[in-house]
Structure 1
Amino acid sequence: MDDKLFERVVEVAHTAEAAGFDSLWTMDHVHQIASVGDREEPILEAYTTLAALAAVTSSLRLGVLVTCNGFRNPALLAKMVTTIDIISRGRAVLGIGAGWHEEECRAYGMEFSSTRERLARLDEAVRICRAMFTEHAPRITGRHHSVDEPLNMPAPLHPDGPPILIGGGGERVLIPLVARLGDACNFFGGPATVRHKIDVLERACAEVGRDSEEISKTWLGTAIIADSEAELQEAVERLGMLLGVAPDAARGLALCGTADEVRRQIGEYREAGVDGMIVTVLDPGDLDHLGRVGTTLREAMDD
């Protein structure tokens, strides 16, 4: 049993805060996923961990990237996020998506429905969460989710409630959902891919009469800062093995190289329309590397 696991998570959070990261995210999995590590490696539940981190941090925005909608009743989810908002004095973010990891849902005895149904459930869940954040006792009747005057007291600290980030890049359903209901979105891939997704989002916003500038566009990927080509190649090969792709393909999905090279790559994403970078690192326990990544990102985003 690893009785120091949470203490190390707190060390990571404090290092990230000191290095200038402005947000901290947990991932909503109950089994470890292949792109991070071995299936039987320990993993803490996302929301209870985030609530604990809310009490020991002071400036980081806090969210789950992204909540699997099928894991929790949406009204209860809104209550949980609001509780984290209260504990953190207004720093909560609701990150939410349709869910994709069928194996862990089956293992935990949770339903894993068709893609179409999961997306329909997500639409209703976002509406319910928004209502729970902003209304006193909302009534919503949907095909999959309904609420009948639930009270969310105390309310979130801000009148509009925690911002809602909707994860995923599906162009027919998910991105239009972001255009209608989201405050933020999250995409993967290289700058050209992300630019294409933002173009789709801008068209979807125009169709519903919304200014796309109201929506924060974020990118998710791994950050690797290396002082030599050999060190970089070793890290990229490891990332490729985790992602199941060749090393060259892994490079295209990451910020990687020297600090100057990573700053240049961030500039390319900024030019593509990205407002914020959300990064993972191969070894969160390497606090020196985490600090370098945070400093580099902060400098690049401030330019």
Structure 2
Amino acid sequence: MTRLGYQIPNFTYPDTNSSGLFKAISRQAIEADAAGFDTVLVMDHFYQLPMLGAPENAMLECYTVLAALAQHTERVRLGALVTGNTYRNPTLLAKTVTALDVVSQGRAQLGIGAGWYELEHDSLGFEFGTFTDRFERLEEALQIIIGMLRGERPTLAGKWYQVNDAVNSPAPVGQIPIMIGGAGEKKTLRMVAQYADESNLLCGIDDIPRKLAALDEHCARLGRVRAEISVSYQISACIAPTKEQAEREYADAITHIPQLEARRPSVVLGGPDEVAEAAAKAIEHGVDGFTVNLPANGHIEGRVALLGETLAPLLA
């Protein structure tokens, strides 16, 4: 599973319109493929998130992008960080991820979560519901999707979904790993213990031990071998050859995306030494790997490669 994943969360770049956008995206994935990353991920949203820009900023549908990136990469796995379960019927999602696995020759993974961005749902007509509704839907969806991806023909008469002898043909090239994103200790990490191959944590770095302890408890209660589950930790960074250059590039990004100013305290900003130091602390807390994004400067040629060269040795 993910040891070093590169996430692309931002599609708003200076002097880049729709005609040049995919070239800027694919260049990042190509750099990641050559620089020690094992996974490339994109967000599954239709509006940009409030901490990364305005709702009307560019946002591409993730599975279309991933299928295209499969044709420009050779080694990395490809997935969403993470799919919003509320946006697709689970049978459609199973078929979509399977198609990605086929066109990438076995490099798809499924990252999934309950969904949370209410504005996006209300504006585009996706049912949002309550917190409890969304987690009930996710659990039913996982039963359907995992069955279809594993070659079963699931039938479910659930509260939210009804399927009957659901067929998934062609089958995936190999077994598609399941990642569940989120850090909720009662619901999310229990679902990780029950259904997933990987947990992707988004939390404060000092909260990692408590999250891992909660996952351990769920595994023990459910009879799951904890060692079967890998844990990755999400980091936002701005890396450049020097800390001063990274600071300049982040300041430049704020002129195009003012919302990045508020996000700055949570971004690891600096040269290779500063970024490596922050990542090493997460490893000390017990995670198995990282998913890292560069929201301010990932589009600058060479930055993804520098990130991979900096972090890959920590995980060797």
Instruction: With the length of structure 2 as denominator, give the TM-score of the two structures.
Output: 0.87
- Kept in 1, the 8 Å contact 2:76–2:107? The answer is yes
Q: Which residue is 1:209 aligned to?
A: 223
Q: Are 1:286 and 2:304 counterparts?
A: no
Higher mean C-alpha deviation, range 64-73 or range 189-198: 189-198
Q: 2:273 corresponds to which letter in structure 1?
A: D
* Aligned CA distance change for structure 1 residues 222 and 208 (closer, same or farther; 3 Å): same
How many angstroms apart in 1 are the aligned matches of 2:155 and 2:54? 43
Q: Are 1:244 and 2:266 counterparts?
A: no
* Aligned CA distance change for structure 1 residues 294 and 94 (closer, same or farther; 3 Å): same
- Kept in 1, the 8 Å contact 2:50–2:259? The answer is no
Q: 2:233 aligns with which of 209, 219, 227?
A: 219
Q: 2:286 aligns with which of 250, 268, 273?
A: 273
Q: 1:86 aligns with which of 102, 113, 123?
A: 102
* Aligned CA distance change for structure 1 residues 235 and 9 (closer, same or farther; 3 Å): closer
Q: 2:59 aligns with which of 12, 20, 43?
A: 43
How many angstroms apart in 1 are the aligned matches of 2:95 and 2:27? 27
- Kept in 2, the 8 Å contact 1:224–1:293? The answer is no
Q: 1:154 corresponds to which letter in structure 2?
A: P
- 3-state SS, counterpart of residue 3 of structure 1: helix
Q: Which residue is 2:211 aligned to?
A: 197
Runs of 4+ residues deviating >6 angstroms: none
Larger relative contact order (Cα-Cα within 8 Å, sequence gap ≥ 6) = 2
Q: Are 1:19 and 2:32 counterparts?
A: no
Q: Which residue is 1:142 aligned to?
A: 158
- 3-state SS, counterpart of residue 49 of structure 2: coil
When the two chains are superposed, the root-mean-square deviation of aligned CA atoms in Å is 2.0
- Kept in 1, the 8 Å contact 2:49–2:55? The answer is yes
Q: Which residue is 1:30 aligned to?
A: 46
Q: 1:132 aligns with which of 148, 159, 162?
A: 148
Structure 2 unmatched runs, 5+: 1-16
How many angstroms apart in 2 are the aligned matches of 1:86 and 1:179? 27
Cα shift at 1:225: 2.4
Matches within 5 A, 1:173-188: 173-188=187-202
* Aligned CA distance change for structure 1 residues 2 and 135 (closer, same or farther; 3 Å): closer
How many angstroms apart in 2 are the aligned matches of 1:202 and 1:68? 25
Cα shift at 1:195: 1.7
Higher mean C-alpha deviation, range 21-30 or range 4-13: 4-13
- Kept in 1, the 8 Å contact 2:151–2:171? The answer is no
